[in-house]
Structure formats: structure tokens, C-alpha cells
A and B are shown apart, each in its own frame.
Chain A
Amino acid sequence: MQLFAFLTGLALATALWSGVQAINAEARASYDAAAATLGEGQFDQIAPRVGDTIAQADYLSLRRQGWLVSPIIEGDLGGVRLLGFDPLSSPAGFGVGQVAGTGDLGAFLNPGQLFANAETAAQLVVSVPVVIDPTIAPGIAVGDIGVVQRLLGRSDISRLLVQSDQPMQRPELSDVAPHLRLQAAGQTADMGELTDSFHLNLTAFGLLSFAVGLFIVYSTIGLAFEQRRGMVRTLRALGVPLSRLISLMVAEVLLLAFVGASIGIVLGYAIAALLLPDVAMTLRGLYGAEVAGTLQFRFSWWGSGLAIAVIGAVAAAGIRLLQIARMPLLASARPRAWAMTSVRAQRVQAICAGILLGGACVLALAGQGLTAGFALLGCFLVGAALLLPLLVRPVLTLAERVAKGPVARWFWADTRQQLPGLSLALMALLLAISANIGVATMVSSFRLTFVAFLDQRLAPELYVEAADEAQAYAIEDGMMAQGVTVLPLLTVETEVADLPARLFGVRVGPTYRENWKFLDAVPDAWDQVNAGQAAVTNEQLARRANLWVGDDIDIAPGLSLPIAAIVADYGNPRGQVVVSEALFRDLHPDVTPRQFGLRTDDPVAARHVLTSDLGVDDGAITDQAALKAFSLQVFERTFTVTAALNVLTMAVAGFAMLMSLLTLADLRVPQLAPVWALGLTRRRIGRLELLRAVVFAVVVCLFALPVGLGLAWVLLAIINVEAFGWRLPMFLFPLDYARLGLYAMLAAVAAAVWPAVRLMRTPPSALLKVFAHER
């Protein structure tokens, strides 16, 4: 039984930990591969100050004045990121895997080839041959710049790589191309950075599960060594040297830890393989990051899983071994319960809990950054868990005082007596329930807010994308003639307040006035924006730039406008600024809108006019419902992983309870024997055992509610702000909590059934033996 508990505990702990690590490792490898596919990160780059393309003429002009730069074009083709480069001007060390290996430049340039891994190649529908190259990052296809330009139907460039060796004489970049800017190597947008918060989130969950698993291992080892005290005493009395005994036991723990961890790693692989597609979808939807949908067995995660499991097991065993080493040869094998209830242990626990909760308070008030947020989370949860037994004890004492009748009083006293043995399992249960409450609150709050946000933002009934400028004008004129309100989407990538952001020009009208809900605003915000005298920013930009309504924000060189309103934006992690259409056109006369939102009472008719009269491709029209459905799908995927981990944590906690009860059951026979002898039937005792599990579950649930809500608050008000830049309003969901409580109770009862049944079936002879052995 102990062997089973030990192995399963360790396996579960390692499984969740290594599963999460495997997902993270796979994602990181995908980002690295994406960065390494072209090895762009090692070079300085030239990018436009505004917008996301560079004219090919700028490239020629730079080269002709001595700037050794090499063009890169990037674009999306049917969901695949196409990267085009020029093999002749690209700097040395710019590795393109097999692209270089084949050496057939003629075929590469003309008629052209694309290189992609097998998964991506299957998605590509292109007129040029696709060469399978497993070293190329998922979701990316690489080709010659001319080929990629042709496939994307473009004639411009996305950015320029700057060679490390530049000629002796060349003009300043600002003299040649003042509209371009130089970015130092490594400062370009890093997918890893952007998605760090998401991975940290997963890691935190992994760590939580691992902690719960270690609780199991620790209590199992504790019990195992407790039971061996007698045997150790006997063996030592017979002359076996202590060092030999210790080394044998260490070897045993190591072997078991290794076996347990190995099982865990296999389980972890299964979990990761199961969850990875959802994670990949989430990352793509939320950040546009591509992650391979298949899992590789990487040393980085299974190695760390194995190491942490063995270290954890040895640490748990070490304390016990130390006690055995120090045990006087002739000391009696005292029952464990006595040792556990020592006042000193309680005091230490109280002090630890105090320190952790104090630390949590300090972090909540003064902490900065995501790491501090997670540290706060850790301190708060562990502190609360440590506090649990200390708070439950007085409750049980009180219940014992109030109880009437000997059986009731015995029940409460015995429950209290069991508390030390069960406290680790109860702590695990507390953590699991709190995490569930916290995450459920966050996800549901997020969902309510997000759906409301989508309703506000996706007001236009149809969205159209024009194929070219001429069609754009035709759509605008044609739709206005039909009495349809046309909302052009004018947008460029730019820098606002020294932060990368997207600038939007909007045609202020009823759609914006009625649908956009501001977090904070001056009374006539839209009028000011319409007059070109103010701007609206999204929450994440305002928070990052440390600005709020009324502050001035730098929109463009020499133009600074007051912020008239802050708008909630849960759609993306990036900054956005909204100005009037007129002001936008003044700032960026070269940007023509290609996308339009259409407000119409009859979307079907409008769609018909677009496709039949204006020659718009049906695929270029998206209706509101489809867009909402897609956004919601991304959202749901985002939290599938969290929900799955939640369920698993709960399962581990339930298992911890089961193991603790089972191991305690044997020890409890001597304590139950007198009660049995006094006339309580085994059946009655068994029922009381079940009742006890329910009592524990209820108490833990009651305690978990405030802890879970505290956790939700930290997630919504601290972690989210740090990770995504927005703060979410918190809603309460009492029905969900009640259901969770019920689940927790079911888990506790399920865990208690087997030990209770075993107790009911304990042969009377076993109970009688207790007296025969004169305990």
C-alpha cells in the first residue's frame, strides 16, 4: 500500500510538472526555430518608422549609397508565414537550413522553391515546388524574395538586415531615408517575451501540482519510516550497523523515486500530447505565435522532471532518515500521532504561515512585474495552506465541547486526533479547491467581460476587405449610395509614447458613440476626438506608458494630444491609439483604407451588391457572427488548458486524501479497538469515518472560499495587468462555488469509502489482538 502510494504520488507530481514543462519546452523550441530559421536576431535591422513595409526603391537607394543591407519580405499566405530573402546580399551566418544545403540556386530563384517542414508544406497551396526541410520552424515557409513577392502579390519589402561589416564611407541613415529607423540586433519583437506570461502561468500550475504530489510523497515516506522504527530498533539491537541501514534505505528511496518519476514522465508526455494542440491554438490566436502541434521527447523537460522528482523524494526522506539516525537504540517506537501534535511543530507552522502571508501582503502593495505577481500568489497559497490545520483545530475543539452524547464527543475528539495525520492531505485539498475557485472566477469574469466587449466592438454587420485601391474606392462609394454606413479601417504600425502601437483613424459616428464603453473618459470625448483635438487609447497602452485621461500622449513627431478616453481592449496584448479619420489622413496621406465595416439593416442584400455589382470576392467578406464565433473560439481555447490542469489538480488532491486515509487506517486500529470493545459496531464506525471525511471536506471548502476569491483577485487585478496590460472586473459566481464544494465533498467521500469499507471488514480478531499486545 505504501509502495503504491509512494509511486503514485511521485508519478502524479512528476506527470503534471513534466507535462507542463514539455508544453513549454515545445513552445520555446518553436519560437527559437522561428527566430533561427533565418537567424535574423543576430543582425541590426532597418524598419519603417511608420507602417510595416519598405519600398523596394528604398532598398536600392540604401545600397547605392553604401549601406550593406539585405531585404526580407514577410507575409501571410493561407495561414502560413512566408519569409522571402535574397541569398546573394544576405549576410554570412544567415542560416536557412537546407535551403543553403541544396545549392541549386537556379531552381531556388527561378522558377522558385519554398522550403517548409512537412506539416506546413501540407497547408501550402502554391504554384512553386515545396521542398520539405524539417529544420524550418512550424508555420513558416522560406523562399527567394522575388518568389515570395510574387506569391504574396506584393512589390515591397518588410525590413532590411544590416550586415555587420559596413564600408568605410556611408551617409547617415537619417540623410538617406529619414522615414526608416535602425533597430539594434536582438531588440526586435521576441515571441518568447510576448508569450512569457502565458508560459509562466502554465509553470505556476505545474509547480502547484508538483507541490501537491510532494505532499503525498512526504506523508507516505513519513508513515513508512514511522512504521519501521520498531524494525530498525530490532535490527540495530541485533548488530546491523546504522550506516548500512541508512545507505540501504537511501538506495531504496532513490530506486523508488526513479521508478515513480519515470512513470510520471510517461504520464506527463501523455498529458502534454493531449493538451498541446489547444496550447498551440491559443498561442496562435492570442499572440500569432506558431507552435508545432506534435511533441518531441526533449531532454530539457524529462531531465528536469526526473531530477526534481528524485530531489523531492530524497528531501522528504532525508528528514526521516535523520530522525532514525539520531534515534537512541532503545527508544520505544512511539506512535506517530503524538510526535506530530507537538506544540513546537504547531508554533513553527504558525510562524511560517505568518511570514508567508506577510510577504504576500508586502508583494501585493509594493510588488512590480509578473514574477512578483506569481511570488505573491505562491506566498498567499502556501501561507493559507499552512494556516489551515491551525484554524481547523479550534473549530473541532469547539464542536467537541458543544457535542452531546459520548459517541458524538468521541467522534469530534477522534477527528481532532486524526488532524495531524491528515493535515497534509487537507492542505492539498485546500490548494486544489482554492485554485479551482480562483481560476473559475477569473475565467468566468473574463468571459462575461469579453463577450460584452465583443458585442460593443463588433457592431458592424459586415466586414469587407478590398483587393486593391480602386476596389476600395468603389466599395466606399457603392455602399454609401446604397444607404449603408461605411466605416473605413485606417491603421498603421507606429510608435506612440516611445512604445510600439497601432494607430487607428476612425469616422466618428453613432457606431462608435453608442458602442464603445470607456473605462474612463471626459464628458465629450468623441466630440474632441472628432475635432482632432484628442485621442483615445486602449487600457494596456495607457498602463504601460503610465498615462491616464487628461494626460498628453505623443502621437507623431511634433504632435501631442490629450487622452480623452481609455477604452478596454481584451482582443490583443498590444497598444492602440484612436484618432479622427481627418487627423489620420493628415498624418498618413499615403495610407488608404482597404478594410471597411458596414452598418446595414439588410446584410444579405449588402453582401449581394458587394459580390455581384462591385466584384468583391465572397471570401473577402466576413459577417459579424463569424468573427464573433472565431474570437470566442480563441478565447475558449485559451482556457481549455487551464481548466484541464484544474481538474487534474483536483484529482491529485483527492488521491492525496485517499492515500492518507488508507495509511492512517492501519495505524488507527489500536485507537478504534477500545471504541469497538465498548459496543460500537464496525459498520457504525465505518459510517462515522465517512462522515468525518465529509466534515473535513466542508471545513476545507469553507476555508477555501476566501482563499480562492483572494486568488481570483490576485489573478485579475495583478497577474492580468502585468501579463496582458488590462485589469478585469471581478464577478462572483456562487452557484459555481457550490458545485465545486459538492465536487470536493464527493472527492473526499470517494477517497474515504475504501478505507471505511476496509475498517468495516477488519476482522474482530485483529481488533482483539490490540488488547492481547497490551498496547
Chain B
Amino acid sequence: MNVKVLCLLVLFPIAALAQGFAGLGTDADGFAVPQPEPEFNFPADHGPHPDYRIEWWYLTANLQAADGTAYGLQWTLFRSALAPGEGEGWTSPQVWFAHAAVTTPSHHFATERFARGGIGLAGVEHAPFRAWIDEWALEGPDFDTLSLRAQGADFAYDMNLQAQGPLVFHGQRGFSVKSAEGQASYYYSQPFYQIAGTLMLPDGPVDVSGSAWLDREWSSQPLSDTQSGWDWFSLSFEDGNKLMGFQLRQRDGSTYSASTWIGPDGTTTAYPDGAFVADPLTQSRVVGRDVPTTWRVQLADRGVDVEVDAVNPNAWMPLSIPYWEGPVTMSGSHEGVGYLEMTGYE
């Protein structure tokens, strides 16, 4: 037994979210529970909500080098509370961990960090905005102008982000329902970042630029017992429209889906269960398991019928909580790029 196993056990709420362990993370245990009709308060709500069990600052970016090569980048800070509220020093029940990854068409680099809350090693402050763990940080004077850095043993990046549009709210004005039984989270995004900077890879530095998408979500009761995992898409079309859609896979083979159509000006349309349809087309053998890396995605109401292809099918995150996450390209009714996250294929 080593401590990383221990960490996994600790982070069961997150693991439950990612992989749908039955019976875990579904009761609130004194944690606050998301309520419909939320009233957000910015910039304070960019900061942490320690009374909720889990929370994340989840950034993905589709990047391009001068030679046209496509790259993907991920930076995620997770907060997982062992108990609601904050505590002094080491007694803080807040546990922080973070994932960073860079995907190239031929390689996938990923790493993670863990830290205790309360002693200053990790946390989020809303004004000026600063989300950090160790030397990794997403920070800037406000939520619209940010710098980003992270590194692992074989990669690093240093990027600058500038928001070109407003925040968008998913579900019912930010109250995002995750199952027919009513499990929900607070969920908003900033999908309009322009991003540019340098990737440090084993072959040397690469200057890149592109677009980035930041998700903010917090909850205390994320998954239903009957759900085994999810497939999440963030798609940016060439016409300026964007689509966020996810489906939660039920153990009986059915799915629960939700999606948000985002206009170029940030106006949103939320679609209920069933409107967004994602069907796996081909499976790739990734680290000993079959993972669907080509999808047919449809949103009939907007005439979307596209084939989504992974830039690198081997974008497996071999971390304490393993999952697939990587950049994708689209063809069909619409052209564009995006990011795909798939959990529960363990």
C-alpha cells in the first residue's frame, strides 16, 4: 500500500464523479447542496466554495504552432473537501490537486500535483484572481486577463490568456442538472479566451496560439448511483458558435444528456436531456482498454451533425484518477476544433 492509493481513497468524491463508483459521493454529509435559480456574485464566485464537497477550475485549449501543427493543453485545479468549511493550518479539511497535460499529434504528456489546504500551498483567491498549487498558477489582475503556467518532468508551458467575450451559464442560469433524479451542480464557463505562449517539450520550445475554454463547476452530490461515467464535449465552430454537450452514461446503457448552444456574442440556449446525441464510431486501444476516439455528435435543433476525431487517440491521463482528455477536430455539417473528456473507461 502506498500513499497514492491512500490519496485515491481520499478523493473518492472526485473518483465517483469521474467513474461513478456506486453509492459514493451521493449524499451531502453536511455539505451545502446546489439550489435552482442561483444568484452568482462575481468576482467572489470565481473563488472557492469550501462548503461544497468538490469544485474545479478546468481549462482546455486548442493550440496551433506556426507550422500548422495542432496541440492541446489542459490545466485543472480541483478542490475536494473532507468536511465542509475551512480550518487553520494543517487542520484544514480542504484537499487540492491539479492535472496538467500537453497533447501533440504523436505524444501526450500529463502530470499531477497534490497539496493540503490551510498552509498556503494551494488555493484560489478571487481579486486579483489567483489559482495555484506549488509553482503552477493561473493568475491575473482579473478573470479576463490571465497568465498560466505548469510543468512536469518532461514538459512545461507558459501562456497568456485574454477573454474576448462574456461568461456563459449552463443549464438553468448556471444550475446544471446531472441526472433524472435531480443531482446538480453550479456550472459556468468562459469559452472566449484567446491564448498564446510557449510549450516546452523534450524537443525544445514551441510557440503556439489558439483558443481556450475555462469551466467552473462546484457541487456536493455529483453523480447518480446508476451512472458509470461521462463523455463531455466543448466544440468551437468556425462560424463563431460554440457547443458544450455532455452525456452521462447509465449502467443500463441509456444516457442522460445536457447541452448549451453558445452564440458568438455569448447568448446561450440550454437543451434538455435527449437533444444532444453522441454516438461512438470507432474505438481505439489505449493503454489496454477500448476508448471511443471518433464520435458522431448531433444537435438537430441547430442542424449539427459532425464527426469528432481525436487529434491523438492516446491522450490518456495515467494519473491517480485515470481518464481520457484531449483535443479534437470536427468535420461534417460544421468544421472546427474542440476538447473531449471521457471518464469511466477504466
Which positions in A face B, CB cutoff 8 Å? 56, 60, 63-66, 68, 86-101, 103-106, 109-110, 144-147, 149-150, 165-170
The residue that B2 contacts in the complex, of A86, A88, A92, A147, with Cβ under 8 A, is A92
Q: Specify which of B3, B4, B10, B114 lies most central, judged by the most chain A CB atoms within 10 Å of its CB.
A: B3
Asked whether, in the complex, the Cβ of B134 is within 8 Å of the Cβ of A90, the reply is no
Asked whether, in the complex, the Cβ of A110 is within 8 Å of the Cβ of B93, the reply is yes
Asked whether, in the complex, the Cβ of A168 is within 8 Å of the Cβ of B155, the reply is yes
The residue that B4 contacts in the complex, of A64, A92, A144, with Cβ under 8 A, is A92
B152 beta carbon closer than 8 Å to chain A: yes
Complex contacts, B116 vs chain A, CB 8 Å:
86, 88-89, 146
The distance from the CB of A12 to the nearest CB of chain B, in whole angstroms, is 45
Asked whether, in the complex, the Cβ of B9 is within 8 Å of the Cβ of A105, the reply is yes
Known contacts A89-B115, A166-B153, A169-B156; is-contact A146 B89 (Cβ 8 Å): yes
With both beta carbons as reference points, the residue of chain B lying nearest to A65 in the complex is identified as B135
Asked whether, in the complex, the Cβ of B135 is within 8 Å of the Cβ of A63, the reply is yes
Known contacts A63-B135, A66-B151, A167-B156; is-contact A145 B7 (Cβ 8 Å): no
Asked whether, in the complex, the Cβ of A87 is within 8 Å of the Cβ of B6, the reply is yes
Asked whether, in the complex, the Cβ of B6 is within 8 Å of the Cβ of A109, the reply is no
A88–B200 CA distance with the chains assembled, in angstroms: 27
The distance from the CB of A160 to the nearest CB of chain B, in whole angstroms, is 13
A440–B6 CA distance with the chains assembled, in angstroms: 55
A518–B4 CA distance with the chains assembled, in angstroms: 55
The distance from the CB of A63 to the nearest CB of chain B, in whole angstroms, is 5
The distance from the CB of B111 to the nearest CB of chain A, in whole angstroms, is 8
Complex contacts, B95 vs chain A, CB 8 Å:
88, 105
Interface size on B, residues (CB 8 A): 34
The distance from the CB of A128 to the nearest CB of chain B, in whole angstroms, is 12
B87 beta carbon closer than 8 Å to chain A: yes
Asked whether, in the complex, the Cβ of B2 is within 8 Å of the Cβ of A93, the reply is yes
Shortest Cβ-Cβ A-B pairs, 3 listed? A146-B90, A103-B9, A105-B10
Asked whether, in the complex, the Cβ of A168 is within 8 Å of the Cβ of B152, the reply is yes
The distance from the CB of A162 to the nearest CB of chain B, in whole angstroms, is 13
The distance from the CB of A99 to the nearest CB of chain B, in whole angstroms, is 8
Complex contacts, A86 vs chain B, CB 8 Å:
116
The residue that B83 contacts in the complex, of A60, A103, A110, A149, with Cβ under 8 A, is A110
A551–B6 CA distance with the chains assembled, in angstroms: 54
Complex contacts, B1 vs chain A, CB 8 Å:
95-98, 100-101
With both beta carbons as reference points, the residue of chain B lying nearest to A96 in the complex is identified as B3
Complex contacts, A146 vs chain B, CB 8 Å:
89-91, 116
The 17 listed contacts between A and B (C-beta, < 8 Å) are A56-B119, A60-B121, A66-B134, A88-B116, A103-B5, A103-B10, A104-B9, A105-B82, A106-B83, A109-B82, A145-B90, A149-B90, A167-B111, A167-B151, A167-B153, A168-B152, A170-B135
The distance from the CB of A89 to the nearest CB of chain B, in whole angstroms, is 6
Q: Contact mask B42-71 → A, CB, 8 Å, 1/0? A: 000000000000000000000000000000
Known contacts A109-B93, A110-B83, A110-B87; is-contact A103 B3 (Cβ 8 Å): no
A90–B134 CA distance with the chains assembled, in angstroms: 14
Complex contacts, B89 vs chain A, CB 8 Å:
146
Interface residues of B in 1-54 (CB under 8 A from A): 1-7, 9-10
Known contacts A110-B91, A167-B151, A168-B200; is-contact A95 B2 (Cβ 8 Å): yes
Asked whether, in the complex, the Cβ of B93 is within 8 Å of the Cβ of A169, the reply is no
Complex contacts, A99 vs chain B, CB 8 Å:
6
Complex contacts, A96 vs chain B, CB 8 Å:
1, 3
The distance from the CB of A107 to the nearest CB of chain B, in whole angstroms, is 9
Complex contacts, B87 vs chain A, CB 8 Å:
110
Complex contacts, A166 vs chain B, CB 8 Å:
153
With both beta carbons as reference points, the residue of chain A lying nearest to B4 in the complex is identified as A92
A305–B213 CA distance with the chains assembled, in angstroms: 71
Known contacts A60-B119, A63-B121, A95-B1; is-contact A88 B134 (Cβ 8 Å): no
Asked whether, in the complex, the Cβ of A110 is within 8 Å of the Cβ of B82, the reply is yes
A87–B120 CA distance with the chains assembled, in angstroms: 17
Complex contacts, A150 vs chain B, CB 8 Å:
90
Q: Contact mask B148-167 → A, CB, 8 Å, 1/0? A: 00011111100000000000
Interface of A is mostly: loop
A338–B9 CA distance with the chains assembled, in angstroms: 81
Complex contacts, A68 vs chain B, CB 8 Å:
134
A515–B18 CA distance with the chains assembled, in angstroms: 72
Q: Contact mask B80-123 → A, CB, 8 Å, 1/0? A: 00110001011101010100000000000001001110011100
Known contacts A89-B116, A110-B82; is-contact A165 B153 (Cβ 8 Å): yes
Asked whether, in the complex, the Cβ of B134 is within 8 Å of the Cβ of A64, the reply is yes
Asked whether, in the complex, the Cβ of A88 is within 8 Å of the Cβ of B115, the reply is yes
The distance from the CB of A599 to the nearest CB of chain B, in whole angstroms, is 42
The distance from the CB of A268 to the nearest CB of chain B, in whole angstroms, is 35
Complex contacts, B4 vs chain A, CB 8 Å:
92
Complex contacts, A169 vs chain B, CB 8 Å:
151, 156, 200
The residue that A103 contacts in the complex, of B6, B91, B97, with Cβ under 8 A, is B6
Asked whether, in the complex, the Cβ of A90 is within 8 Å of the Cβ of B151, the reply is no
The residue that A89 contacts in the complex, of B114, B156, B200, with Cβ under 8 A, is B114
A96–B7 CA distance with the chains assembled, in angstroms: 13
Known contacts A88-B95, A105-B9, A106-B83; is-contact A100 B154 (Cβ 8 Å): no
Known contacts A88-B7, A88-B114, A100-B5; is-contact A168 B135 (Cβ 8 Å): no
A64–B149 CA distance with the chains assembled, in angstroms: 12
The distance from the CB of A359 to the nearest CB of chain B, in whole angstroms, is 51
Complex contacts, B154 vs chain A, CB 8 Å:
168
The distance from the CB of B93 to the nearest CB of chain A, in whole angstroms, is 6
Complex contacts, B151 vs chain A, CB 8 Å:
66, 167-169
Complex contacts, B2 vs chain A, CB 8 Å:
92-95, 100
A103–B156 CA distance with the chains assembled, in angstroms: 33
Given A60-B120, A94-B3, A105-B7, 15 other A-B residues pairs in contact with their CB atoms under 8 A = A63-B121, A64-B121, A87-B6, A87-B10, A88-B10, A89-B116, A91-B3, A92-B2, A97-B1, A103-B6, A103-B9, A109-B82, A167-B156, A168-B152, A168-B200
Complex contacts, A168 vs chain B, CB 8 Å:
151-156, 200
Complex contacts, A167 vs chain B, CB 8 Å:
111, 135, 151-153, 156
With both beta carbons as reference points, the residue of chain B lying nearest to A148 in the complex is identified as B90
Complex contacts, A66 vs chain B, CB 8 Å:
134-135, 151
Complex contacts, A144 vs chain B, CB 8 Å:
90
Complex contacts, A104 vs chain B, CB 8 Å:
9
Asked whether, in the complex, the Cβ of B114 is within 8 Å of the Cβ of A64, the reply is no
With both beta carbons as reference points, the residue of chain A lying nearest to B137 in the complex is identified as A64
A165–B152 CA distance with the chains assembled, in angstroms: 9
A94–B114 CA distance with the chains assembled, in angstroms: 15
With both beta carbons as reference points, the residue of chain A lying nearest to B135 in the complex is identified as A66
With both beta carbons as reference points, the residue of chain B lying nearest to A164 in the complex is identified as B153
A150–B91 CA distance with the chains assembled, in angstroms: 10
A289–B135 CA distance with the chains assembled, in angstroms: 39
Asked whether, in the complex, the Cβ of B3 is within 8 Å of the Cβ of A87, the reply is yes
Complex contacts, B114 vs chain A, CB 8 Å:
88-89
The residue that A92 contacts in the complex, of B3, B115, B153, B156, with Cβ under 8 A, is B3
With both beta carbons as reference points, the residue of chain B lying nearest to A107 in the complex is identified as B82
Q: Contact mask B120-150 → A, CB, 8 Å, 1/0? A: 1100000000000011000000000000000
Interface residues of B in 220-260 (CB under 8 A from A): none
With both beta carbons as reference points, the residue of chain A lying nearest to B9 in the complex is identified as A103
With both beta carbons as reference points, the residue of chain B lying nearest to A64 in the complex is identified as B135
Q: Specify which of B90, B119, B121, B155 lies most central, judged by the most chain A CB atoms within 10 Å of its CB.
A: B90
The distance from the CB of A116 to the nearest CB of chain B, in whole angstroms, is 17
A170–B135 CA distance with the chains assembled, in angstroms: 9
A98–B2 CA distance with the chains assembled, in angstroms: 10
